[in-house]
Structure 1
Amino acid sequence: MTQFFNNNLEQIISSVILLIIFIIIRTIIVITVKNIGKKSGTTEARAGLIGRYITVILVLIAILIEMFILGVEPEEVSLVFSSVFAVIGVGLFAVWSILSNVTSGVIMFFSFPYRVGDKIRIHDKDYPVEAIIEDIRAFQIHLREDNGDLVTYPNNLLLQKAVTLLQKDALDDASIL
């Protein structure tokens, strides 16, 4: 056992350094995402969801770096990744709509100009919606119409349609009355 550690001391030290760097970067990014979420008025659950997405990406990058630390040849890595991405690509083609909604949810987290409680109008020729934003989730946005109906609108469609802000923080105004 001692001989194993002596023979692989450089890789072990590099792996520990990679782990420490990974934890530091992840912590900084998650704290930054939570601060952005607080400033933009989004829920803590959404900030946590975005933090998990970023963590998955960082883990994949760390695994790739760890492969090189352990001495895996670039040709072997490219063969594995091309095979995995081919299989994933075929599988994800079937669920592209879900990925589109998740990606839109991430975009909306960082740059959506409306918050929970705002009353908006979505200019959709097939189904125009005028409602109060009740919740913004990873796949869809929940809207409450004036008649009490709950409308779930996919995130990817929301980014493709024109949206008008009718009243800011309509929920706060309704609670005053």
Structure 2
Amino acid sequence: MENLNEYKYQLLLTLVIVIVMSTIIFSIKRAIKKFSFVKAIDVNRRKIIFILTYLVVYILFGALLAVVWGVDFNRLSIFISSILAVLGVGFFAQWSLLSNLTASVILFFNHPVRIGSRIRILDKDFELIGEVKDITGFYFFMKTDKGEIITFPNSLIMQKGIEILKDEESPQA
């Protein structure tokens, strides 16, 4: 019973933090669902955004709980900076992974291309016209009018010009 009285303040703060975190996650989930409904975004793309958002929220609230439970802030900051240094070296070595995830988030929120859209990728070397089949966390899948399935990294899609075609503009195959 002595331990319970000793940690009453931390337990109360932990309960408050869990309630606040749950409320924030519920609000974010509702906002992303509403945004994806308005923009007609595919369920699989929405899942990627949920995962990335939850990861950020859990890391922030985990750090906050560590501070509440008396973890020394200097030691915690050294630990976190060490982890970030290792991750930074890893992401620098695999820069395309990070850039593709970032491009996926940008495609989700700000790009007008949707699954099922007929598009033309503006490239001086290749004439690529077809339908968008899927957009994942790393890749953009397109089926050309010739029946080819082509995949692009999301970061490359952000660099290319894309023309969204209407049905009457599509060339007859």
TM-score (norm: length of structure 1): 0.89
Structure 1: how far apart are the matches of 2:127 and 2:3? 67
- Secondary structure (helix, strand or coil) at the match of 2:133 reads strand
The answer to whether 1:25 aligns with 2:15 is: no
The answer to whether 1:166 aligns with 2:165 is: yes
Which aligned pairs between 1:123-162 and structure 2 lie closer than 5 A?
A: 123-162=122-161
> How many Å apart are 1:88 and its aligned residue?
1.2
Spell out, residue by residue over 1:110-151, the C-alpha distance to the aligned partner (whole angstroms, 9 max, x if none): 011121221111112344421111111111111111111111
The answer to whether 1:76 aligns with 2:69 is: no
> How many Å apart are 1:160 and its aligned residue?
0.9
The answer to whether 1:15 aligns with 2:24 is: no
Determine the structure 2 residue equivalent to 1:85: 84
Contact 1:34 1:48 in 2 (8 A): no
Structure 1: how far apart are the matches of 2:164 and 2:3? 65
Structure 1: how far apart are the matches of 2:58 and 2:134? 29
Contact 1:105 1:138 in 2 (8 A): yes
> How many Å apart are 1:80 and its aligned residue?
0.8
Determine the structure 1 residue equivalent to 2:48: 49
2:57 partner amino acid: L
C-alpha RMSD over aligned residues? 1.9
- Structure 2's unaligned 5+ residue stretches are none
Structure 2: how far apart are the matches of 1:128 and 1:72? 58
Deviates more, 1:5-14 or 1:108-117: 108-117
Q: Would you say how many aligned residue pairs link Structure 1 and Structure 2? A: 170
> Structure 1 vs Structure 2: percent identity of aligned residues?
30
- Structure 1's unaligned 5+ residue stretches are none
Determine the structure 2 residue equivalent to 1:100: 99
Spell out, residue by residue over 1:139-173, the C-alpha distance to the aligned partner (whole angstroms, 9 max, x if none): 111111111111111110111111111226x9xxx
- Secondary structure (helix, strand or coil) at the match of 1:165 reads strand
- Secondary structure (helix, strand or coil) at the match of 1:71 reads coil
Contact 1:144 1:150 in 2 (8 A): yes
> How many Å apart are 1:40 and its aligned residue?
0.9
Determine the structure 2 residue equivalent to 1:35: 34
- Secondary structure (helix, strand or coil) at the match of 1:138 reads coil
